[in-house]
Structure 1
Amino acid sequence: MASADEATALGLTAVAALKRGDTREALALIARGADVDARDDMLDSVLLYAGAEGMDEVVRAALAAGGDLTVTNRYGGIAVIPASERGHVSTVALLIEAGSDLDHVNRLGWTALHEAIVLGTGGPAHQEIVRLLLAGGADPRLPDRDGTTPRELAEQHGWSEIAGLLDTRLREDDRGSGD
């Protein structure tokens, strides 16, 4: 078992390995007791970086090693937010299953749902991510810091499929509340 200082050093080395594209080294370091929540000077941890890059094997290993889903990156976001933005469907599914807070708001005023819409492509991957986020409990009524809802953002970006998904969820919620 690595000491706390050793675990931190191993964690920082694992982040550096990931940034070089060396997942094998990162996985070996995690197995040796790397602190997967240690953050480098860019505030990237193993879990944050692997999530943002769609490195599912590393995400699984980091979660198994006790990775903290609440650790934030330099934008104040948790791993599910950049994974959603970048269209990493399977990574988003892993992070939802692990219990990510789908309504976490980053410094930009956005949740994973907002980022999937605003910074996504509107294509099949982002449509599936919106489905996953909604099924996982993301609040479709939560506005961004400008007061714009995900539905309004989808419409502004011309993402009709995503707008339709949001409309369906909003109708279901309205029926469920007795309105």
Structure 2
Amino acid sequence: MVSDLHDAAANNDVAAVRRLLAAGAPVDGRNLAGATSLLVATHANSIAAAEALIAAGADVNAKDSIQDSPYLYAGARGRLEILKLALAHGADLKSVNRFGGTALIPAAERGHVETVRLLTEAGVAVDHINRLGWTALLEAIILSDGGPAHQQIVRLLLDAGANVNLADHDGVTPLAHARQRGYRAIAQILTAAGAR
């Protein structure tokens, strides 16, 4: 029954999700990877199924074997509608992924502008440092192409109070990283915000 619920979640089959739950399928039952049906729905961006599962009490913070939860994965992958549902149903803003990063850090790295906006407005710590020694601001520079989406993310992070001079573990500042990569627009944004 658990695998059927996972299949229904992956296929966004809301009728099947509801039928299986009514028949006693555990809402947070796990597959071999430790994923709940809500995490499977999040992977597939099955919004309606995710909504049905959350309405039935699915845990938005339940982590799989690689430390992803529906909330963290939705943030990292820009699954905006599921992220909104997770935030409205008890997402743990302090939870971290296997790299020690909050949902905000990979969202910033991957250029998910609206996700970054939503997470900063929700109150995710903008200066959280992951195991690599990087903040969301550093990842938005180091692991980006420096283009318009990442420029907007840098602005959003600074507007949310990110420390413009918080360096990585090697003492390299966001401005130094931007200059090394030739990201002039980002360097200008940082400089205007007091970067050294």
Instruction: Report if TM-score (shorter chain) is over 0.5.
Output: yes
The yes-or-no answer on 1:65 pairing with 2:85 is no
Is the contact made by 2:45 and 2:82 (CA closer than 8 Å) also made in structure 1? no
Question: Counterparts of 2:27 and 2:176 in 1: how far apart (Å)?
Answer: 45
Q: Is the 8 A contact 2:27 2:53 kept in 1?
A: no
1:12-39 per-residue CA deviation (whole Å, 9 max, x = no partner) reads 2111222234232222211211111110
Alignment counterpart, residue 165 of structure 2, candidates 141, 157, 170: 141
CA contact (8 A) 2:104 2:136 kept: yes
Tell me the residue number matched to 2:19: none
Does residue 37 (structure 1) correspond to residue 61 (structure 2)? The answer is yes
Could you tell me how far 1:61 is from its partner in structure 2?
Answer: 0.4
- Structure 2: unaligned runs, 5 residues or longer: 1-25
In 1, Cα distance between equivalents of 2:114 and 2:67? 23
Could you state the TM-score of these two structures normalised by the residue count of structure 1? 0.88
Does residue 125 (structure 1) correspond to residue 170 (structure 2)? The answer is no
Residues 112 and 149 in structure 2, CA contact (< 8 A), matched pair in contact too: yes
Confirm or deny that 1:151 pairs with 2:175.
yes
1:3 match: none
Provide the residue aligned with 1:78 in structure 2: 102
Q: CA RMSD in A?
A: 1.8
Q: TM-score, normalised by structure 2?
A: 0.81
Whether the aligned pair in 1 keeps the contact of 2:110 and 2:144 (CA below 8 Å) is yes
- Decide whether the 8 Å contact of 1:9 with 1:34 is kept in 2: no
- 1:25/1:162 Cα in 2 relative to 1: closer, same or farther (>3 Å)? same
Q: How many residues align?
A: 168
Identity of aligned residues (%): 52
- Answering whether residue 188 of structure 2 is matched by residue 164 of structure 1, we say yes
Report the Cα distance in structure 2 between the residues aligned to 1:86 and 1:122, rounded to whole angstroms: 11
Letter in 1 for 2:101: G
Q: List per-residue Cα deviations over 1:115-164 (Å, max 9, x = no partner).
A: 00001110000000000000000001110011100000101111100000
Deviates more, 1:41-50 or 1:26-35: 26-35
Q: Which runs of 5+ in 1 are unaligned?
A: 1-5, 175-179
Is 2:132 aligned against 1:112?
Answer: no
